Amino acid sequence: MTDSSEPAPDGGYAGATDELPAATDEGGHATTESHGLPPYGSVKRWFVTTNHKDVGILYTVTALFFLVFGGVLALLMRVELFAPGASVLSAIGYNQTVSTHGLIMVFWFLSPFAFGFANYVVPLQIGAKDLAFPRLNALSYWLYLFSGLLLGVSFFQGGTFSGGWTMYAPLNIPTYTPSIGASTAILALVLFVASVTVSSVNFLTTMHRMRAEGLTMRRLPIFTWTILLTVWMMLFAFAALLAALMILSSDRLLGTTYFAVTSPGGSILWTHLFWFFGHPEVYIVFFPALGVMAETFQTFTGRRIVGRKWFIAAMVLVALQSFVVWMHHMFLTSINLQIKTLFMATTIGISLPFDLMVFSLIYTTIKGKVRFATPFLFTFGALILFIVGGITGVFLGAVVLDYQFRGTYWVVAHFHYVMVGGVTALIGGLYYWFPKMTGKMYDEFLGKVHFVLYFIGFNLLYFPMFVAWETPRRVFEYPEALTVWHQLATVGGFILGASFLVMFYNLTRSLVDGEAATGNPWAYSTTAEWAIPSPPPLENFPGVPSYRSGSLDFLGGSGATDGGEVTDGGAVVARDGQAHETGTQAAHAGEPESHASIWPFVLSVGAFFVFLGLSGLQEGSFVPGLAGDVYLALALVGGTITMGSFVGFGLEHFHAPTGPFGESWPFEAVENTKLGVWIFLASDVVLFGAFIGTYVFVRISAGWTGWELVPGDPIPGLMNTYLLLTSSFTVILALVAAEKKSRWGVIASLTTTILLGIGFLVNKGLEWNHLFHEGIAISSNVRTSTFFLTTGLHAAHVVSGLVIAVYLLARAWRGAYLDDERPIEYFGLYWHFVDIVWLFLFPLFYIL
Amino acid sequence: MHPMALFPAFVAPLQSGLVPDGGRDEIFRAIFVVFLVLGTIVGVVVIGYMLYNGYKFRDRGDRDGEDGIDRPELGELPEGGGGGRKLALSLLLSALIVITLITWTYFALVDVETRAVENDDTLNIQVEGYQFGWEFIYPNGNTSDTLRVPEDRTVRLTVTSRDVFHNFGIPAFKMKTDALPGQTTDTWFQPNETGTYQAQCFELCGAGHSAMNANVSVMEPEAYEQWYANTTSDDAASGNATGTTAATAGNATTANNGTTPA
Amino acid sequence: MPSTKLYAGIYVVLFAFATAQVAFEFVGLLESAYWIAFGGIIVLSLIKALFVAGYYQHLRYEPRSITFVVLSALIAALVLTIASSYSIT
């Protein structure tokens, strides 16, 4: 690219005009016709949009809202800590503040803030027109927003959760945190995890399958790399968290006894499940910040990242290792010395790749043309903060020191230097991409003022915590001698908070009457988002992006958005493998992508009410009185809305990007939806794996061989094994029938599958009923809890499968799937997976 | 299993004097100071180098190409990037520092973990956390909400919880361990100065967490024995009468009877 | 893609293995040699799972990369199970 700041004229580009706020009326109308997307100015647009750039903006704005929310809570704490002893907040109020501050910052601010950029920038960097599943992307956003609102509601239900963001057992069960709001907070997290899972599947499919020609994995920009690794970690880590949260919800709502005081190893179990998620989570929130650092270091020093491939290799290593360091959070529990030693070693191991990354960034500045514009000030500052955080982290790696630092402000200071250090880089990212996202330049002077206040405030807030490290965490009493340090920290907290007022003023003001930004306001930026206008048009690129020549080109120019013929489509399609795909692609060629759907929003509203309703459950029944009726009604209404929107979702004609795509390694021959299904199933493997792992752990704690099986008789289980195996076989028959274009074959096989599935559930119902009559209940003890909950989760999977099967049957009745049997195939993948899970649950719970 | 059995090679350095010895607070202080000094040096050097580079290579407004350096261009495909050797060297250096430090402290860890086990003269006390306080159970069955211990003797604590997850710590002795319901953890300390200290809860455990403290009273050995003897007579019903006449002997017996497996 | 006949054959094998697993219990092997029976039953489950994944989910005929995705999830779950169980022994 020679002159890329002003790209080729975008005439003939249907979506281009409506993206400019100035020209909404005429342009907007035309697009409503073709994309169903109202213009920017319209409020409706923000409810229906599925375009990745809009969703990115929604994520960013919402995350900033939660930053303010969590920040205000932090300031409340700092006010409380200005002097030892309770003053402003009640004791339980303080615990709630501590807990929700942590939850909001870690879950509802940090990752979503990064995912605002990921949504906006990653498709641009990889040369995709949108994510693989645009509606699921919108769904992720709305689930995220509504999960956050649900957390907000929890404050008004007798107080929210007060057991810390780590939610240690058994403080997390109703015996010790009885308020309904505490359950709501847990359910809000479950909903949040749903959002993350959908998002991970979507991003992984997109980033692996939809890269521009020539953009092989090793050529991906580092920011994109960080997001890729982040979503891989998310996929597995959040599945483990989901298992933990489901078990916790079950303890809170249904009365299972996993974490009860009487359960063997209950509190250790929680720490394992939580930290198995919790440690990768540290990198999940930090990696995107690292990506922003790498991008801005390259841009603002005018030097290519030193040792780029080592940098990437180091990150891959960290992503893998992040799953084997979790027990360093448990050094003081009753785990044995051998495993402590092992995890100490892995922990040291994981710190070393970070050294490499830090050095790589520092060396990048050498011989540079370093310009301290606001984005770089923030990321440069972030690196300094991260170095301090890293060094103080080595202290924690020495177990003898960790024994003393555990539960003190040393830990608080350390992880704030690391995590808020990450935030610092992300703020830099906000300034960096603000011109791209809005088409307006921010005010450089105010940006620098923000940085100065921020950096002073940050260090004044967190550094004294190192000095006052003997203060226990989450406590408002501390020795008088430490008062001065806590007062400094409080002052710093307010300076840090005030610095954001400058930022909000700056960005809002610039949005209204800032200088127009060119396509590429930064010298030496390299990535594709800077090669298109600011903000980019709806379809992103003026042609098909390709790196075949060794640098970015837009092939085919205007109009040829799907132009297989221009991009040497034959080769691409051939690489894409399967023959039937070519047919579909041809059929859709030229049809513009859709960008609007109301169903993600509606579905999330439904889910919000379902979860709000469920929060009224205690010990398996709704709380007594009118409140209970209201909760039940909410759950029912929410359930109806959710089911309705699923159908609406399924029936809606929506055209996602279909390719052909350039680079799809290592999934060239796997179509997007199939890959999506497999990735989702992988997360489900971890979910069930964690459930089974929990069972194994609990049973070992209680003594493996002394464990009495809950069902006295394996025969009902064997019957169910037969039923499920047979139903798997009939799904195969349905697929074979569809391939043979036999409508009746499909209908008959699907009907049999459904009947067998129902038979499975009926048989299970009879078995459970029998057990209940014998006085064996879900809440009897931890043995019955594991039995009913694990097999119950499996049954829930069967139910979901049946719902899909009924939908398929209804469509098959009208002759669907004979030309395109893939929906049946993909349903089969899920159904067989549920079958496989049962193949292990059956011996574990019925025989062994 | 005795953890030391796994690491016979580590015994030698333990005896060589390289690894800090003494009470937990002394071990902690020795290691902490080394970490603090080295950490500060590394931090100052690295951050200083960063700032120096940032200043030295600041943009002076000269045009591209004048310095003969190839700058990144929009739309280019990223290269592998050179500088691998420099990176590897830096990494090696930092790895060396970190691994040496951690290995060094590992010997101290093994020492800390095994100390109480090796010592026959330990005083065994059980600690039970509850919302919101601590109960100390002595070998003779006496319970107290103040932890009274004699000076200069290793005290071995077996800690558990009656309800939620707590963490028992005495900052003055740099000793801390989790208190888990249904599980026990062991730890020890060696008070070497009489006085009153404070034990605290270090894990969020509910509304009263901030004030979940207990007093720790380190007594002159004689005063302790006298106090202990009196508590034993209070509980004389259990037939532990020897304690009143020969406190030391009685105490040793109880310890050997093993309230906790030593 | 395998033939319907192969699918049916696999179905029969799955059916037989499930029956065999329960037979272990009925012949009393669980009482006499628990860990041998344990091993046998788990191995049967593993073989069944491989058949379902390999043929019904036709992983055998898909690019290996898909198998690796599922396998890495499985390894993650196993790491959690084994390490946490070991930690309390």
Over pLDDT 90: what percentage of chain A? 85
Percent of chain A surpassing pLDDT 70 = 92
Helix, strand, coil % (nearest 5) of chain A?
70, 0, 30
Higher pLDDT, residue A344 or A802: A802
Asked whether residue B72 is domain-assigned, the answer is no
Q: Are B72 and A475 an interchain contact pair (Cβ–Cβ within 8 Å)?
A: no
* Distance from C-alpha of A825 to C-alpha of A737, rounded to nearest angstrom: 11
Record the tokens describing residue B102, joined without a space.
């951690």
Beta pairing partners, B128:
B135, B160
Q: Which CATH class is domain A710-847?
A: mainly alpha
Q: Do A689 and C56 touch (CB under 8 A)?
A: no
Nearest to B47 among A265, A387, A400 (CB): A387
CB contact under 8 A, B210 and A91: yes
Closest of A145, A146, A148, A137 to residue A56, by C-alpha: A137
- Looking at residue B4, its pLDDT comes to 45
Q: Which two tokens stand for residue A445?
A: 């002077």
Contact A685 C49 (CB under 8 A): no
Residue B182 lies in a domain: yes
Q: Which range of residues forms the domain containing residue C87?
A: 63-89
Mean pLDDT of A734-762: 96
Nearest Cβ partner for A4 among B74, B99, B163: B74
Does pTM top 0.80 for this prediction? Answer: yes
Q: Are residues B252 and B147 in the same domain?
A: yes
Q: Check residue A798 and give its pLDDT.
A: 98
- ipTM of the shown complex: 0.98
CA distance A510 to chain B (A): 26
For residues C14 and C35, state if they share a domain. yes
Task: Pick A696's closest partner by Cβ from C19, C66, C81.
Answer: C81
- The pLDDT, as a whole number, for residue B119 is 66
What gap in Å lies between CA C64 and CA C56, rounded to an integer? 16
For the segment A156-160, the average pLDDT, to the nearest whole number, is: 95
pLDDT for A725 equals: 96
> Which pLDDT belongs to residue B84?
80
Q: Are residues B106 and B134 in the same domain?
A: no
Taking CB atoms and an 8 Å cutoff, what residues of chain C touch A686? 73, 76-77
Instruction: Give the CA count within 13 Å in the CB-facing half-sphere of B116.
Output: 25
A contact test, residue of B111, B164, B168, B213 with most A CBs within 10 A: B164
Residue B115 pLDDT level (bands cut at 50, 70, 90): confident
Return d(Cα A320, Cα A322) in angstroms, integer.
Answer: 5
pLDDT of residue A557: 62
**Nearest chain A Cα distance for residue C11, angstroms:** 7
Report which of A681, A482, A25 is spatially closest to residue C59, judged by C-alpha positions: A681
Q: Domain range holding B17? A: 3-57+83-118
b/e map B76-94, b = 16+ CB within 10 Å:
bbbeebebeeebeebbeeb
Chain B residue numbers with beta carbons less than 8 Å from the beta carbon of A310 are 84, 87-88
Neighbouring subunits of C (3+ Cβ pairs under 8 A): A
pLDDT in tens, B37-94: 999 999 999 999 999 999 999 998 877 777 788 899 999 998 766 778 889 999 999 8
Looking at this protein, which amino acid is placed at residue A475? V
Distance (Å, whole) CA A719 – CA B72: 66
Whether residues B146 and B173 fall in one domain: yes
* Residue A803, both tokens: 């719902």
Report the distance separating Cα A787 and Cα A583, nearest Å.
Answer: 48
The residue of chain C with its CA nearest to that of A683 is: C73
- The answer on B198 and B99 residing in a single domain is no
Span A163-180, average pLDDT: 95
The minimum CA-CA distance between A304 and chain B, rounded to whole Å, is 6
Structural domain boundaries of chain A? Answer: 49-526, 710-847
Q: Does A346 touch chain B (CB under 8 A)?
A: no
CB contact under 8 A, C74 and A689: yes
Average pLDDT for residues A103-110, to the nearest whole number?
97
Kindly give the parts of chain C with pLDDT less than 50: none
pLDDT digits (tens, 9 = 90+) for A483-537: 999 999 999 999 999 999 999 999 999 999 999 999 999 999 999 999 999 999 9
Which residues touch A823 (CB under 8 Å, ≥6 apart)? A808, A811, A816, A817
Q: Higher confidence at residue A576 or residue A454?
A: A454
Residues C50 and C7 in one domain: yes
Are both C40 and C73 inside the same structural domain? no
Looking at residue B85, what is its pLDDT? 86
User: Which chain A residues contact residue C25 at CB under 8 A?
Assistant: 714, 847
Contacts of A842 in chain C (CB under 8 A): 18, 21, 45
C47 and C79 share a domain? no
Q: What is the pLDDT of residues A278-289, one digit of tens each?
A: 999 999 999 999
Structural tokens at position B152: 């200069």
The tokens of A845 are what?
Answer: 């719970």
Q: Are A335 and C88 an interchain contact pair (Cβ–Cβ within 8 Å)?
A: yes
Residues A218-237 pLDDT 10s? 999 999 999 999 999 999 99
Neighbours of B40 (CB within 10 A): 11
One domain for residues B24 and B87 = yes
Against chain B, the chains showing at least 3 CB pairs within 8 Å are A
Q: Are residues B137 and B105 in the same domain?
A: no
Residue B67 within any structural domain of the chain: no
Domain shared by B143 and B183, yes or no = yes
CB nearest A398 (choices: B80, B81, B102): B102
One domain, residues B246 and B166? yes
Residues C68 and C31 grouped into a single domain: no
Nearest to A64 by CA among A414, A507, A715, A591: A507
Least confident of A46-50, A369-373, A391-395, A603-607: A391-395
Do residues C71 and C44 share a domain?
A: no
Q: Taking a C-beta distance cutoff of 8 angstroms, is the pair A47, A111 a contact? A: no
Size of interface A-B (CB pairs under 8 A): 293
Q: Thinking of the domain A49-526, which architecture would CATH place it in? A: Up-down Bundle (1.20)
Q: What is the pLDDT of residues B176-234, one digit of tens each?
A: 999 999 999 999 998 889 999 999 999 999 999 999 999 999 999 999 999 998 886 45
* Predicted pLDDT at A824: 96
My answer on whether C78 and C46 are in the same domain is no
**Residues A690-718: what's their mean pLDDT?**
94
- Of A685 and B88, the structure prediction assigns the larger pLDDT to A685
pLDDT band at A248, cuts 50/70/90? very high
Nearest to A264 among B86, B182, B208 (CB): B182
Kind and range of the H or E run holding A121: helix A111-126
Residue B107 falls within a domain, yes or no?
yes
Q: Identify the DSSP state of C56.
A: I
A370 shares contact with chain B (CB less than 8 Å): yes
Mean pLDDT within B122-138: 95
The residue among A347, A677, A725, A726 with the most chain C CBs within 10 A of its CB, best to mutate, is A725
- pLDDT band at residue A844 using 50, 70 and 90 as cut-offs: very high
Q: Distance (Å) from the C-alpha of residue C58 to the closest C-alpha of chain A? A: 9
In a domain, B234, yes or no: yes
Query: Among A332, A348, A388, whose Cβ lies nearest the Cβ of B102?
Result: A348
pLDDT band at A659 (very low <50, low <70, confident <90, very high): confident
Q: How many domains does chain B have?
A: 2
User: Is the bond leading into B139 cis (omega within 30 degrees of zero)?
Assistant: no
Going by C-beta distance under 8 Å and a sequence separation of 6 or more, which residues neighbour residue A136? A198, A199, A201, A202, A600
Same domain for C52 and C71? no
For chain C, the farthest-separated pair of C-alpha atoms sits apart, in whole angstroms, at 49
Round the average pLDDT of chain A to a whole number and report it: 90
pLDDT at A770 over 50: yes
Cβ atoms of B166 and B214 within 8 Å: the answer is no
Domain count of the fold of chain C = 2
Q: Closest-CA residue in chain A for C75? A: A686
**C42 and C10 within one domain:** yes
- Are C6 and C32 in the same domain? yes
pLDDT reported for residue B127: 97
For residues A160 and A104, what is the distance between their CA atoms, to the nearest angstrom? 12
| Claim to verify: residue C41 and residue C16 sit in the same structural domain | yes
Distance from CA of A371 to the nearest CA of B (A): 6
Q: Which of A202, A146, A194 is nearest to A601 (CA)?
A: A146
